[in-house]
Structures are given as structure tokens and as C-alpha cells.
Amino acid sequence: MAVLNELPGIKVTIEVNDVKAQEYNDEDGPAEDKNNRRATNRCFKYIESKDDSPFSVVYHLDNTYGQLSRYDALGIYLSIDGAQMDSCLWESARYPPGSPVWTHRVAGTRHTSAHSGMDSMRKFKFSKITTIDDAGKDRVARDIEDFKRIGLIKVYVYGCSVRENRPTHRSHRPTRDKDFEVAEKALKGRAVSHGTAYSDGGLIPQTSTVSVDFYPREPLAAFSFKYHALHKELVIPRSPTPEGINALSEAEIRRLAAERLEDINHHRRSPTLKREPRAVIKREFAEYYDLTEEPTKREWKKVRIDDKHEAIDLTDD
């Protein structure tokens, strides 16, 4: 959950497939963000995007201890891939200290429909980007402009006061699905894997609008979420693909089975194989003579040669 220490009562999360997305700190965010709106406080995160997965942006405003009561209202603006998608208003008079946490979920963008009193909803989803290598200069220049803000969700929070209510409803300009094929050179090494596309969300009731005055003019907070396949950026490690038996051919399975059987039979024929080195060492030491013992005395045979001389017989008995 993206939280700012300076504004602990305001939190923003992203849900993918109705599950809160795991967040990772974006260490490069502060240096890369130009902060054109001069937001006072900023937060930078990564989340993982997956092909054709729906996602929502969720706001949590907690005024339990009155930490947000110094503002008459808070205006929250959502921008995705550089285009404004939604805006909503939180009023402190409706949520005094001790009130439950206010939660607002934005699952898509609304547009005027042909049905009276109803808007059409276009739900957000991640769409895979494919790259081409042989694009001409004009295509590269066009893609640089079209894709320079792709892969970024931004939420701005303003302090404001309500000037007047308007009877008219609000909706945003119709969004069109992008062609997510881009020249490789246009990305300039950026780890971009997905953009935001839309699916049909049906009809929803129209809502009214209000006029507000900002104070201060700059956002109190800006929450930035880069989204892409995190394996591509090496933010999270890729799990190794298991090599199961289903991936082997029948011939490979038979070969492995034959080798295993031969190994088992070899062990059965040589049950003392592991003990053999120790037995050899024992026999080697048993064959050594102990030279510290006294030699056995032996009587030598004497042979008389003549009356005055004797000789020792060294021949075997």
C-alpha cells in the first residue's frame, strides 16, 4: 500500500484480478519524475502487470483522528499512460473524526452514452506490447511521442474547497484502444511490457460535478506506480521452469528407464561395494611384519669336514 509519512491518512493501492498487487520500491522514480505539477509529497512504486488482466485503482482515506479535517475537501485525480481517467471528491464534513475509512475504487473510465441518465463504462486491463525492429524514422518519431508516458499510473491529491455544485454530469473524452505495436528504437531501452486497454463495463448511472478552488495550487501528494512484467526489469526473480516427464519423448523415457534399471541391478550384484576399500586396507596392514619382536632362535646344522674343521650347512632342510 502506497503511504506517505507526511499524509498517513491517505493511501493508494492497485488491485489486479481483484487482488491487491504486491508493491516494490521504485528507487529511480525521484530522479526520473519531472514533477511538473510540483507535488509537495511523492511516492514511487512498481507493480507487476500481466497480459489481459483487469485492474483497479483504490483510494483509502482515514480521518479517524481528524488528521484530514484541516481540509474542507480533497480532490483526487487519476491519470494512466498520460491521460486523465477519473476524478472524485472527498468532503471532510461528510466524514468527521471517528468515521469509517472511506474507500473508493476506480475500475475504468466513463463516457457519455446514448441512454438518458447513463454513462458507458470502459474497464481497465493490461495489454501486451510487441516491438518491431524495421521501423522507419517517421514511425520511430511517432512512437516516441505516443509511448513516452506508457506504463505509468499516477494519482494526484489536492486540498480544495467546493465553490458550487453543478447539475450537469461528468464524463471523460472517449478512449480508444491503442495499437500496442511499437518500434523498438522508440522505447530507448525502457523496460515497457504493457499498456492500458479497455473492456466493456456496461452502463452505469451518471454523476454530478462540482467546481472547486485548490489550496494550495500544487498537489498535496502524488502517487506513481510503474507497471510492467517485473521479470523483464529483474525486480523479482523468474522461477525456473520445472522439467517434468511430460516434456520428454517416449524414446527418452525408455532410455532413462533402462539406465535406471541397469543401475539398480548393478547395486544388487555388488552389495559390499561401498565396504571394499576398508577391507583392502585391513589386509594390507595384516601382511606387514612386526620388526620390533625378537627373531626366533634357530639351531644351525654343523658338518665336519676333517678332524680340525667344521662348516655350517646353509641349505634347506
- Whether the pLDDT of residue 163 is over 70: the answer is yes
Question: Residues with Cβ < 8 Å from 158, sequence gap 6 or more?
Answer: 74, 75, 76, 77, 212, 214, 219, 220
Please give the mean pLDDT across all residues of the chain: 80
- Whether the pLDDT of residue 272 is over 50: the answer is no
- Whether the pLDDT of residue 270 is over 50: the answer is yes
- Nearest-Å Rg of the Cα atoms of the chain is 41
Residue-wise pLDDT tens digits, 103-123:
999 999 998 888 888 999 999
Q: Quick one: pLDDT at residue 169?
A: 58
Q: Quick one: pLDDT at residue 139?
A: 86
pLDDT-based confidence at residue 149 (cuts at 50, 70, 90): confident
Q: Quick one: pLDDT at residue 133?
A: 82
The answer to whether 56 and 107 have CB atoms below 8 angstroms apart is yes
- Whether the pLDDT of residue 315 is over 90: the answer is no
- Whether the pLDDT of residue 212 is over 80: the answer is yes
- Whether the pLDDT of residue 102 is over 60: the answer is yes
For residue 274, the 8-state DSSP code is: G
Q: Quick one: pLDDT at residue 305?
A: 60
The mean per-residue pLDDT over the stretch 184-212 comes to 87
Q: Quick one: pLDDT at residue 181?
A: 86
Q: Quick one: pLDDT at residue 304?
A: 62
The answer to whether 125 and 197 have CB atoms below 8 angstroms apart is yes
What would the DSSP string read from start to end of 117-161? TEEEEEEEEEEE-EEES---HHHHHHHHHHHTTTTEEEEEEEEEE
Q: pLDDT: is 266 or 289 the higher one?
A: 266
Distance, in Å, from the CA atom of 196 to the CA atom of 56, rounded to the nearest integer, reads 11
Q: pLDDT: is 22 or 317 the higher one?
A: 22
Residue-wise pLDDT tens digits, 168-194:
556 555 565 667 888 888 887 777 889
Compute the half-sphere exposure of residue 215: CA atoms within 13 Å on the CB side of its CA.
10
- Whether the pLDDT of residue 281 is over 70: the answer is no
Q: Quick one: pLDDT at residue 309?
A: 59
Q: Quick one: pLDDT at residue 81?
A: 93
φ and ψ at residue 156, rounded to 5 degrees: -110, 135
Report the percentage of the chain scoring pLDDT > 90: 41
pTM (2 d.p.): 0.70
| 196: β partners | 126
- Whether the pLDDT of residue 67 is over 80: the answer is yes
The mean per-residue pLDDT over the stretch 247-274 comes to 67
Q: Quick one: pLDDT at residue 246?
A: 65
